[in-house]
C-alpha cells in the first residue's frame, strides 16, 4: 500500500515539475519583453522551485531503483526523508530571504509596477493552485487515482512529498497575500502593506520548515518519535 502511494506521488511530482517549468519560462520571457522586474523575480523564484522539486523527484527514482539493493541495510525509505530534510532547509532559507528583503523594502520602499505585478501574481497563483490540486489528487492522473485531502498530505509519512507540498503551498500563500497587498497599494496607496505581507508569509513558511526539519531529523538519527 505504501509503495503504491509512493508511485502515485512520483507521478504527481513529475506533473508538478512540468507545470512549474512552463510557468518559469513564461514569466522570465514575459518579464524580459515587458521589462518588468517583478515578473523576472517571480520567474527566477520558480526556477529555485524547479531545482527543489527536481531533488524530490530524483529521490523517488533512486528509492525505486535501489529498492531491492543490498547496499541499504534498512531499505531506501531514508532517501526520501533525506530529500525532505534538504528541501526543508531550502524552504527555511527561502523564508529568511523573503523576510530580509521585506524588512529592507519596508524601510526603503521602491516604486512598484502594480498592474504588471498583480498579473504576475495571479498567473503564479493559478499555476501553483493547479499544482496543489495535482498533489492532492483533485486532478486525476488516471481513473484508479484516489482523492487525497490536504490533511492526509500533511499527516503523511512521505516527508519527501510533504516538503514539496509545503513549497508549493507557500507559493500559493505568498501569491494570495501579494495580490491583496498590491491591490491595496495600487488603489489605496498602502505601499508598506506589500512588505508587511511578505514578513507575515515568511514567518508562516519558516514555521512549516522548522516543523518539517524536526520530523525528518528524528528519523535520520533514529530518535524515538
Q: 204, exposed or middle or buried, with CB in 10 Å at 0-12, 13-18, 19+?
A: middle
How many angstroms separate the CA atoms of 63 and 61, rounded? Answer: 6
For the question of whether the overall pTM of this predicted structure is more than 0.85, the answer is: no
pLDDT at 144 over 50: no
User: Mean pLDDT across the stretch 62-78?
Assistant: 84
Pairwise CA distance, residues 157 & 186, whole Å: 43
CA distance between the termini of the chain: 22
Q: At what angle do helices 159-188 and 193-220 cross, to 10 degrees?
A: 170
Angstrom distance (rounded) from CA 205 to CA 166: 8
Cell representation of residue 113? 509596477
pLDDT tens digits along 85-121: 998 898 888 889 888 888 888 888 877 788 888 888 8
For 79, the grid coordinates are 532517501
Q: Is the pLDDT of residue 29 over 60?
A: yes
DSSP code of residue 35: T
The mean pLDDT of 46-66, rounded to a whole number, is: 86
Q: Evaluate if residue 142 carries a pLDDT over 50.
A: no
pLDDT at residue 25 greater than cutoff 80: yes
Angle between helix axes 159-188 and 37-65 (nearest 10 degrees) is 170
Q: How sure is the predictor about 16, in pLDDT bands with cuts at 50, 70 and 90?
A: very high
With a pLDDT cut of 90, the percent of the chain lying above it is 14
Instruction: Report the chain's mean pLDDT, rounded to a whole number.
Output: 81
pLDDT digits (tens, 9 = 90+) for 166-196: 888 887 887 888 888 888 888 988 878 878 8
CA-wise closest residue to 17 among 46, 42, 59: 46
Query: What does the pLDDT read at residue 143?
Result: 40
Taking a C-beta distance cutoff of 8 angstroms, is the pair 37, 120 a contact? no
Provide the angle, in degrees to the nearest 10, between the axes of the packed helices 114-135 and 159-188. Answer: 150
Q: How far apart are CA 115 and CA 138, in angstroms?
A: 31
Domains annotated on the chain, with CATH: 2-220 (1.20.1510.10)
Amino acid at each position: 500500500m505504501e509503495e503504491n502511494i509512493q508511485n502515485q506521488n512520483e507521478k504527481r511530482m513529475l506533473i508538478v515539475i512540468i507545470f512549474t517549468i512552463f510557468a518559469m519560462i513564461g514569466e522570465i520571457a514575459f518579464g524580459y519583453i515587458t521589462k518588468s522586474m517583478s515578473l523576472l523575480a517571480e520567474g527566477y523564484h520558480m526556477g529555485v522551485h524547479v531545482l527543489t522539486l527536481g531533488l524530490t523527484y530524483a529521490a523517488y527514482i533512486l528509492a525505486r531503483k535501489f529498492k531491492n539493493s543490498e547496499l541499504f541495510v534498512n531499505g531506501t525509505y531514508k532517501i526520501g526523508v533525506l530529500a525532505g530534510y534538504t528541501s526543508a532547509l531550502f524552504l527555511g532559507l527561502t523564508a529568511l530571504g523573503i523576510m530580509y528583503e521585506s524588512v529592507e523594502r519596508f524601510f526603503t520602499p521602491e516604486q512598484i509596477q502594480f498592474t504588471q505585478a498583480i498579473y504576475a501574481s495571479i498567473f503564479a497563483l493559478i499555476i501553483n493552485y493547479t499544482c496543489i490540486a495535482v498533489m492532492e489528487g483533485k486532478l486525476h492522473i488516471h481513473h484508479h487515482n484516489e482523492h487525497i485531502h490536504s490533511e492526509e498530505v500533511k499527516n503523511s509519512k512521505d516527508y519527501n512529498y510533504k516538503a514539496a507540498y509545503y513549497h508549493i503551498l507557500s507559493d500559493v500563500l505568498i501569491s494570495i497575500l501579494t495580490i491583496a497587498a498590491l491591490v491595496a497599494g495600487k488603489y489605496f496607496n498602502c505601499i508598506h502593506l506589500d512588505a508587511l505581507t511578505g514578513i507575515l508569509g515568511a514567518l508562516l513558511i519558516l514555521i512549516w520548515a522548522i516543523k518539517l526539519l524536526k520530523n525528518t531529523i528524528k528519523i535520520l538519527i533514529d530518535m524515538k518519535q
